Amino acid sequence: MTGIPFTCNLDCGGGCPLLAIVKDGKVSKVIDNPAGGEYIKGCVRGYQSHRIQNAPDRLTKPLIRTGPRGSGEFKEVTWKEALDLVAEKLSEVKEKHGNEAILNLGGSGAIMSVLHNTKRLANRFLHLFGGATGRWLGYSSAANMFTLPYLLGTVQAGFDPASLKHSNLIILWGSNVVDNRFGSATESWIRDAKRRGVKVITIDPRATNTVKTLGDQWIKVLPGTDTALMMAVLNVLIKEDLVDRAYIEKYVYGFKELENHILGLDDGVDKTPEWAEKVCGTPSETIMQLALEYGNAKPTCLITGLAIQRVIGGEEAVRMAVSLQAATGNIGVKGGSSGGYFSNMLPSMKVGAIDTMPNPVKATVPTYEWADAIIQGKKGGYPVDIKFVYVLGTNYLNQGSDIKKNKEAFEKADFSVAHERFMTATALHCDVVFPVSTSFERTDVMKGGGNFLLYSKQVVPKLDGVKHDYEILCQLAERLGIIEEFTEGKTEAEWIDQFIAESEIEDVEEFKEKGIYLGKEQERGAFTDFIEDPDKYPLDTPSGKIQLYSEEFAMKGASPIPTLRSIKPNTENPLRLVTPKSRYRTHSQNYNIKWFQEMDPQKLWINPVDAVERGIIDGERVLISSPQGKIRIEAFVTEDIMPGVVCLLEGAWPKYEDDIEVQGSANAVTSTRPTLPSHGSRTHTVYVQVKKA
């Protein structure tokens, strides 16, 4: 079956080579591109993405709000009217309040591409207009991105999935690679490792699809307590003489201080498996067995997911994961890993990309606190008073913690505009909504989930009435007098040709025909040069080594060595809620599509122990409550979740009845209090009560 090279351009870390099949002018099917080879494969979201393209509720007309924000009262207008209004409001806020009053909420709705990249386009446009208040770090990986440079001197701490062929043990710690992807070849290479007899250990509070289909062993751990479990593992490694002392001496700084803490020589608390069991709920015998297997297998690839750092004290889990790999001599070794988040965390293949341009406005706010920044402004200690919100490629009202607070933030802003395909919760609260195209409707080059590039060709014409994000910004730029700077006189096709010319691709026509270009190296790993010659290739840390003891990190208000930082449930809200990703959604994308809803109905996972205690039976509606709000949703009673833990997949769009959310939108009960010092997400440190509805 022939098809047109295409890829989704979604924020899943996948970057999958696909083919789109067109029938009667519509996309009828999506399949793997055989040019990707045996290991680089798509997933159900990509295979079913034509359902988004052909959805009946696609927006096709510009909209201007006529009723209260969130009411859904809009009028369809011409493109000229909508563009004129937005240009007028941008000019007005710039003149009255300065560019810092504009908040850039450009997001990751289309993030893998070099031109039609929602984050880069928003930056370029607003920066050329005179700037806007930006955001630092993000929802997904703030604690990881903040912390890794203190340990390793960089965030480029990943590995190519093909290097797993050299691993002798794989530990998936909070890493659901089957559902979340983290590269389009990771799952395939882990399956390959299993076939040759490599053990795969999965550590997670719930039995995910990864646990069930890849794992040889499921080790349960309470959310937010991974640091304690890691400390106990290191405790055993030290006492059983399974740490690599020669490696530590040559490549690691500060291990002695960490060792003293793990053994309790500094605080009197020996971080034994028995100690950890009381914190994380993992049996001490299991911890001992894990440590012994870990210490006796080399190389070990520790693959950490982003879940372990989306908690209060998430920075410490990042530090401990790196510490474990350093102690066992697995960093910079083929088949090993750094312990830090790995997907797309290596230098990407050389290719041009739309320049974001410098931002003349220096004010920034933490992404996790964008709503607080709007509501509180300078009086609340934030650097600016936000008046205008520009939303491009994201559903922030839904995806940000504490939906009620997010609604309040949009209420307070003087004006807001969104680029959208559907009437999301965010679009519903904006003043102008621009209808935009899908990846099927435009040509681009994508950076894949590995050392390769993808060519994604326009598959079908745009729906009548919609425009590319780039087109919209061009037309705004023309009205605002910055069109020459924004386009540099180039068409979209000319930009693409330029970016390909800036890559290492020699046969451009073959690239466009096949849809993929594979780099020569497919088994790269971070820090191999450092391990080969630490004097010639020192790390960008104060010691030039792997920095487990960091005075610089301590200056940010934390300990110089990893410590256990967490908060416990209370009697009022005794259950730990986790809010992971759905196999059938990329964050909130796909929720409105009936097929995806039917494949993954939104329910609250609850263990039979907790269900019986509350008189809850499978399938009945329950009430989830936290200080931030309440959700009424159907219960799914299952052994696939630990006692004391409940699970509600993130991404469902909110709907409220009598102040209670009724569609299972997880952020109705989450908090914007971040983990510090990164100001990162803590959406797996959420404590709730669950009762019969």
Q: Which residue has tokens 């992971």?
A: 580
The beta strands (E) that lie in 1-133 are given as 4-6, 18-23, 26-32, 63-65, 74-76, 102-106
State the pLDDT confidence band at 1, using cuts at 50, 70 and 90.
low
State the pLDDT confidence band at 270, using cuts at 50, 70 and 90.
very high
- The string of pLDDT tens digits covering residues 14-59 is 889 999 999 999 999 999 999 999 999 999 999 999 999 999 999 9
91, pLDDT greater than 60: yes
Of 111-115, 234-238, 437-441, 624-628, the range with the lowest mean pLDDT is 111-115
Q: Mean pLDDT over residues 268-293, rounded?
A: 98
> How many angstroms separate the CA atoms of 661 and 693, rounded?
12
> What residues does each domain of the chain span?
63-139+349-518, 144-340+535-554, 575-692
pLDDT given for residue 265 in this prediction: 98
685 and 567 Cβ atoms separated by less than 8 Å: yes
Q: Which residue has tokens 């370029």?
A: 124
12, pLDDT greater than 90: no
Q: How wide is the angle at C-alpha 221 spanned by C-alphas 550 and 171, nearest 5°?
A: 70
pLDDT given for residue 178 in this prediction: 94
Q: Mean pLDDT over residues 5-17, rounded?
A: 87
| 249 Cβ contact list (under 8 Å, min separation 6) | none
pTM (2 decimals)?
A: 0.96
Distances (CA, A) of 10 to 50, 65, 393, 468: 14, 28, 10, 16
List the structure tokens of 656: 């409220």
pLDDT given for residue 2 in this prediction: 81
State the pLDDT confidence band at 462, using cuts at 50, 70 and 90.
very high
CATH 3.30.420.40 is held by the domain 575-692: no
Distances (CA, A) of 174 to 152, 177, 222, 232, 327: 21, 9, 11, 17, 20
- The string of pLDDT tens digits covering residues 171-213 is 999 999 999 888 899 999 999 999 999 999 999 999 999 999 9
**Helix or strand run (H / E) with residue 445:** strand 444-447
CATH 3.40.50.300 is held by the domain 144-340+535-554: no
Q: CATH assignment of 63-139+349-518?
A: 3.40.50.740
State the pLDDT confidence band at 108, using cuts at 50, 70 and 90.
confident
343, pLDDT greater than 90: no
- The string of pLDDT tens digits covering residues 345-378 is 898 889 999 999 999 999 999 999 999 999 999 9
Percent of the chain with pLDDT over 90: 94
> How many angstroms separate the CA atoms of 69 and 557, rounded?
40
17 and 448 Cβ atoms separated by less than 8 Å: yes
448, pLDDT greater than 80: no
State the pLDDT confidence band at 112, using cuts at 50, 70 and 90.
confident
85 and 78 Cβ atoms separated by less than 8 Å: no
- The string of pLDDT tens digits covering residues 130-180 is 999 999 999 999 999 999 999 999 999 999 999 999 999 999 999 999 998
- 63-139+349-518 with 144-340+535-554: one CATH topology? no
